[in-house]
Amino acid sequence: MAISAQGLGDSHVFIGSLNPLAAPWAAWKEAYLAADGRVVDAMQQGASHSESQGYGLVLATIFGDNAAFDLIYNWTEQNLAIRSDALLAWRWLPADSGAVPDLNNASDGDLFYCWALVMRGQRDGNSAMLDRAKAIANDLVAKCVVLSPDESGRLLMLPAAQGFTEEGTANINLSYYMPLAMNEVAQATNTPLLTKCAADGVDMMRMLAAEGTMPDWIGVGPNGFFVSPKQSDRNGYEAMRVALFLIWSGNREHPAVAAQLAAYRSAATRERARLAGGKNVTVFERRTGAVLEISDHVGYGALPALIECMQAKGIGSTIPFYRTNNQAYYPATLHLMAMIVQIIATPECVPI
């Protein structure tokens, strides 16, 4: 089925026998989705968080899996939608008697969750779901979108409502920005500030790409960007999502994508021995491209393979075939997302 990079509306959702990723989606559900609708991140104390629930809800929507959607949605509404506003508490821990030890939100989790509600609500003509999405979008803008302290006029999306601003500065995480999701949510919920925030985020990524790969975290102050002493500016487990989300959003020529590809190519040459046997880079020193961490999880290999094929503009790709055995929730989810993006944005990059 052809899928447009411009959106995933009614005619663009994978359905039934036409779904080329039916087996990977079934494997993902079996490995990470509990019977009650909780998406389990075993590597993080068995937690469920608004990110995992939001990612799961988007995947269920894309695959047209209403049963999985309803399970994820109902569990999330019962267990994370417990703040005084429309946003989600960011983490649920099974070992905690209160289950939610911190009521702060996570803006990326809220964004993906809201995006799934928009897609499902529009597809089914479900006004209640669209109303819920609008409430989330309004509070996301009200609580997490702020004016940049550098007097550029840009808007920033904070990682959460509390804890990321102090003394005229802000700490942001550009992997929390998903331009396609922000734009589609903004259009559906009449929150134009989210559209501007998305455009400003893409612009900031362009500025930072002049220095190297994207940082996991970056500070913004009156004089522009700075490395926060409280957060890592390495290009690691979070920033690796930036190129994926840009390609998904139709920004495949963005310099941040090129910078990530350059880092992967350099590592493949300089670290050939360390990366033998299917190992993949997970953390770079962003300015030098030095490899700081590697992983056996196959999902991390899907990202460089996708970017490499997209850049080469050829037929076929070294994107690894999907599997969940011996793979944690996070790389497995990125792997599945990369395969979705391959079909949406780079259909020539069929895994071979």
pLDDT at 2: 31
Q: Which of 202, 304, 311 is nearest to 253 (CA)?
A: 311
Q: What are the tokens at 143?
A: 């609580």
Which stretch of DSSP H or E encloses residue 310?
helix 299-312
**Tens-binned pLDDT, residue by residue, of the chain (352 aa):** 233 333 443 334 555 445 889 999 999 999 999 999 999 999 998 999 999 999 999 999 999 999 999 999 999 999 999 999 999 999 999 987 779 999 999 999 999 999 999 999 999 999 999 999 999 999 999 999 999 999 999 999 999 999 999 989 999 999 999 999 999 999 999 999 999 999 999 999 999 999 999 999 999 999 999 998 888 899 999 999 999 999 999 999 999 999 999 999 999 999 999 999 889 999 999 999 999 999 999 999 999 999 999 888 778 888 998 989 889 999 999 999 999 999 988 888 888 7
Residue 74 placed within a domain:
yes
Query: At residue 218, what is the residue type?
Result: I
Residue 2 placed within a domain:
no
Residue 226 placed within a domain:
yes
The residues with which 225 forms a beta bridge, in sequence order, are 220
Cβ contacts of 77 within 8 Å, gap of 6 or more: none
pLDDT at 19: 80
Residue 30 placed within a domain:
yes
Cβ contacts of 152 within 8 Å, gap of 6 or more: none
- How many domains does the chain fold into? 1
Residue 350 placed within a domain:
no
- Domain interval for residue 248: 10-345
Is 349 in contact with 317 (CB distance < 8 Å)?
yes
Residue 64 placed within a domain:
yes
pLDDT at 234: 96
Residue 133 placed within a domain:
yes
Residue 225 placed within a domain:
yes
Pairing mode of beta strands 48-49, 165-166: unpaired
Is 47 in contact with 53 (CB distance < 8 Å)?
no
Residue matched to tokens 């799934």: 116
pLDDT at 1: 29
Tell me what percent of the chain is helix, strand and coil, each rounded to the nearest 5: 50, 10, 40
Q: Which of 96, 120, 100, 116 is nearest to 108 (CA)?
A: 116
Q: What is the DSSP string of 175-203?
A: GG--HHHHHHHHHHHT-HHHHHHHHHHHH
Strand boundaries in 121-279, DSSP class E? 145-147, 155-157, 165-166, 169-172, 218-221, 224-226
Residue matched to tokens 């996301």: 140
CATH number, domain of 36, equals: 1.50.10.10
Local structure of 288: helix, strand or coil: coil
Rounded Cα gap, residues 199 and 211, in angstroms: 20
pLDDT at 6: 38
